[in-house]
Structures are given as structure tokens and as C-alpha cells.
Amino acid sequence: MIEVSKTLGLFIATALFEIVGCYLPLQWLSGKGPPWLLVPAALSLAAFVWLLSLHPTASGRVYATYGGVYVATAMVWLWLTDGVRPQITDFAGAALILLGAATIALGYRSA
């Protein structure tokens, strides 16, 4: 269970770095932030790639599982950063995606 918690935490951290790496350039491009935001955005995306590389299983399985965690993290970001409360369909969709991600991640058995 501790290993699952560590992996989930790593996926959440990875998702946050990716979201921040995309959010900061959006702020600049939409005129809501200065151009220097591109520097922490680039660092955030570099950290995202590095964190994603820390998983020992096949990259396709990691990316598929990560995608589910990313969607759920983006829903929380929507709520906390954008101030938009997710609707019941958002919660249902995120739950379905997380179920699929868990099936991929927990169903894997090395040979």
C-alpha cells in the first residue's frame, strides 16, 4: 500500500508540474502575466519530464496511468485556480478515468 501511495504522489506531483508548465505561458499569452513567466514554465516542464521518467515500468503503461491522474488533478486545478466548481459529470468522468488508470496500474504483473 505504501508503494501505491508513493506512486500516486509521484503522479500527482508530475501532473502539477505539467499543469503549471502550461498554465504560466497561457497567462503570458493572454496578457495576464509578464514574459519572464516562461522561465519557470520551462523549468516546470523539465521537472515534469524528469518525474515521469522515474517510473520503472514500460513507458506506455506509465503514460496511460498518468493520463488518468492528470485528468483528476486538472479537475482540482479547475476548482482551486480557476474558481470553477466541477459539475457532477466532471466528478463522474474523473472517477471513471481513475478507475481505468487503476486497472492499468494495479493489474500489471511483471513476468
- CA pseudo-torsion sign 81, 34, 26, 16: negative
Instruction: For the full predicted model, state whether its pTM sits above 0.95.
Output: no
Contact, 40 vs 24, CB < 8 A? yes
Q: pLDDT tens for the chain, 111 residues: list them.
A: 677 788 889 999 999 999 999 999 999 999 999 999 999 999 999 999 999 888 777 678 888 888 999 999 999 999 999 999 999 999 999 999 999 998 988 886 665
> What residue ranges do the domains of the chain occupy?
2-107
Those residues whose C-beta lies under 8 Å from the C-beta of residue 71, and which sit 6 or more positions away, are: 93, 94, 97, 98
Give the CA angle between residues 43, 53, 63 to the nearest 5°.
Answer: 105
